Structure 1
Amino acid sequence: MFARTITTRSISIAQIRNKIIPVSARHFSSNNNNNEFREEIFQKYLNAMDHSIRPPEGYNKDNVPPHIDKIGTHKQTFYTPDKPLHSPESSYDITISKLLSAGLHLGHSTSLWNPVTFPFIFGTRAGISIINLEYTIVYLRRACKVVREVALRGGLILFVGTRPGFAQATVEAARRCDGYQVTKRWLPGTISNSRQILGKLTPTHPDDGGGLPEVFKPDLVIVLNPLENAIVLAETKQANIPTIGITDTDFDPRKVTYPIPANDDSVRGITLIAGVLSVAARDGLNHRKKLLKEQEEREAGKLGVVKMMVQAMEESKREEEEMIDNFEETEETKE
């Protein structure tokens, strides 16, 4: 019904007259009342079409739910490509259908399959391993909880995405949670030999130019393409730094502390996961700022109470001194 309605709406009356009337008038070309008969057929067709479009009696648009009133009349795009980049959702709002629309269920060829990823595979189709997104959403929410707790405790979070298509998503994710990012080739020794590698890039202390520069190591490293960053995983393992990585069907998830089984070749999927993780880090950072503000207010209140107690003690001491002076004066006058 709806398909017919939409089709008839797109055809103009002139087109209907040109298409319908000549066909019906072929058999009545010898009749003198041909024009009247053609007009009668045309009016019947228009009335039938108008009756199919017209809502039934007693129809009130205000009483119809919005999701039912829009059925068959409006098309709505379920997935917007630029939304995960600029306004990503939290881990509580993410669903399996959104992961599916981002292409995170597509793995690699079965010839490249790593047997360790067997629990995460739903099946195979056309020679390609299909990832079970039920595991993906569970492991993604677990990783978001880890990121949120690290940000809550003031930890440094480093995003690593060295593929050319991941640069924008990596930069936006780091900017959203006040973290750090690496979008080009990882310099070996950045973590294991940080003082030597980063010594020339780190400014020295203004009062002690000959002192060693202060270097901070990340508390959590999020690797968007761990297959090409084996050096990063080796250095973080040596330094006991936890890692979060997007592991495809051709990668060993045991090399990452918190793996997320998903397609690591989909730019949309990587952007979605990086955005969700950055939102979790931002939530932890905002909660940390709130707790610090409350702590400062409590400390300010305690300082105010201490200050009032000190003032009260000084006033009482001053009153005692005045009483002693008055007592001595009275004793002198008596003598």
Structure 2
Amino acid sequence: MAVEVKELLEAGVHFGHLTRKWDPNMAPYVYMERNGIHIINLYKTAAKIDEAGAALSKIANSGRKILFVATKKQAKDIVAEKAGAIDMPYITERWPGGMLTNFVTIRKAVKKMASIDRMKKDGTFLTLSKKERLQVDRLRAKLEKNLGSIVDMTRLPGALFVVDIKREHIAIKEAQKLNIPIFAMVDTNSDPRQVDYVIPANDDASKSIDKILSHVTSAISEGLAERKSEKEASAKDDAPKAKKATAKKATAKKAVANEEEE
């Protein structure tokens, strides 16, 4: 899906921060200053969306997950909706320290949720006292709130997509340590050098966040669709081979049986 500068303009993607709050490393992406506010060059934003989209599509096509991170109020619901629609994991509550660098422990917490669910199914839960059941329910609710959206992420993600890198600096540091590619919406008050794929954009307005996320998730969706069609094509190609192999085995068995009879 080609990115139109006009639609980015209408969504307010071009509004940066106050000039006194800017990070000089964002200079290449700033078009001008107006009323004490930096205006982002939307032609560069459009090009960067295309670049990031192509890379994310490849990662999705490879079967790896892309973890979306956005804990700020105006981005939470948008990220949950967009990432959830393409079956990608996301964090919209507080970032759990060690989410990436101590992934084994995080997986244990996710498995704890599954074990509580099993307890409820097999009746073990009912054997607990009222106080214990209350404690278990509270623990399950807490785990669901913080980690429910990453239940299907059984290994480290292939990439991280972040809204507001200043706010999510802990997530950024963890991804950097593990050499996980970082894609992000970067506003004029942030340092783009922390990110592998920079999308210069207003990361405070919900309309802007929605517009960027729509393009990004659309590109990921295309990668997933390609992967699915490639799998189906591969299965069709393998079917005649499997049939031939089965026929060969049957012929071989028949030959052996005839020899034994003789």
> TM-score interval w.r.t. the shorter chain?
0.7 to 0.9
Contact persistence 1:166–1:267 (CA under 8 A): yes
Q: Which residue matches 1:127?
A: 36
> In the superposition, relative to structure 1, how do residues 314 and 192 fare at CA in structure 2: closer, same or farther (>3 Å)?
closer
Q: Does residue 179 of structure 1 match 2:88?
A: yes
Q: Write out aligned runs for 1:94-105 (5 A).
A: 94-105=3-14
> In the superposition, relative to structure 1, how do residues 204 and 163 fare at CA in structure 2: closer, same or farther (>3 Å)?
closer
> In the superposition, relative to structure 1, how do residues 150 and 122 fare at CA in structure 2: closer, same or farther (>3 Å)?
same
> Using the alignment, how far apart are the partners of 2:112 and 2:155 within structure 1?
13
Report percent identity of matched pairs.
Answer: 30
Q: Which residue matches 1:200?
A: 109
Once the 2 structures are TM-superposed, how far is the Cα of residue 319 of structure 1 from its aligned partner? 6.4
> Using the alignment, how far apart are the partners of 1:134 and 1:184 within structure 2?
33
Deviations 1:251-310 (A, max 9, x none): 100011111011111110101111111111111111111111222222222110112223
Secondary structure of the structure 2 residue equivalent to 1:202? helix
Structure 2 counterpart of 1:296, from 221, 235, 247: 235
Deviations 1:151-182 (A, max 9, x none): 00000111111111111210112122210111
Structure 1 counterpart of 2:100, from 191, 199, 212: 191
> Using the alignment, how far apart are the partners of 1:198 and 1:320 within structure 2?
56
Deviations 1:139-160 (A, max 9, x none): 0111101110010000011111
Amino acid at match of 1:105: H
Corresponding pairs, count: 225
Amino acid at match of 1:243: I
Structure 2 counterpart of 1:268, from 207, 219, 225: 207
Question: Which structure exhibits the higher relative contact order, with contacts defined as CA atoms closer than 8 Å and separated by 6 or more residues?
Answer: 2
Query: TM-score normalized by structure 2?
Result: 0.80
Q: Which residue matches 1:233?
A: 172
Q: Which residue matches 2:182?
A: 243
Secondary structure of the structure 2 residue equivalent to 1:228? coil
Contact persistence 1:189–1:235 (CA under 8 A): yes
Give unmatched runs, 5+ long, in structure 1: 1-89, 207-213, 326-335
Q: Which residue matches 2:142?
A: none
Q: Which residue matches 1:147?
A: 56
Q: Does residue 166 of structure 1 match 2:166?
A: no
Q: Which residue matches 2:21?
A: 112
Secondary structure of the structure 1 residue equivalent to 2:98? coil
Write 1 or 2 for the structure with the bigger share of helix.
Answer: 2
Superposition RMSD in Å: 2.1
Query: TM-score normalized by structure 1?
Result: 0.63
Q: Which residue matches 2:120?
A: none
> Using the alignment, how far apart are the partners of 2:255 and 2:96 within structure 1?
67
Contact persistence 1:246–1:262 (CA under 8 A): yes
Contact persistence 1:248–1:263 (CA under 8 A): yes
Amino acid at match of 2:74: G
> In the superposition, relative to structure 1, how do residues 306 and 165 fare at CA in structure 2: closer, same or farther (>3 Å)?
same
> Using the alignment, how far apart are the partners of 2:113 and 2:97 within structure 1?
23
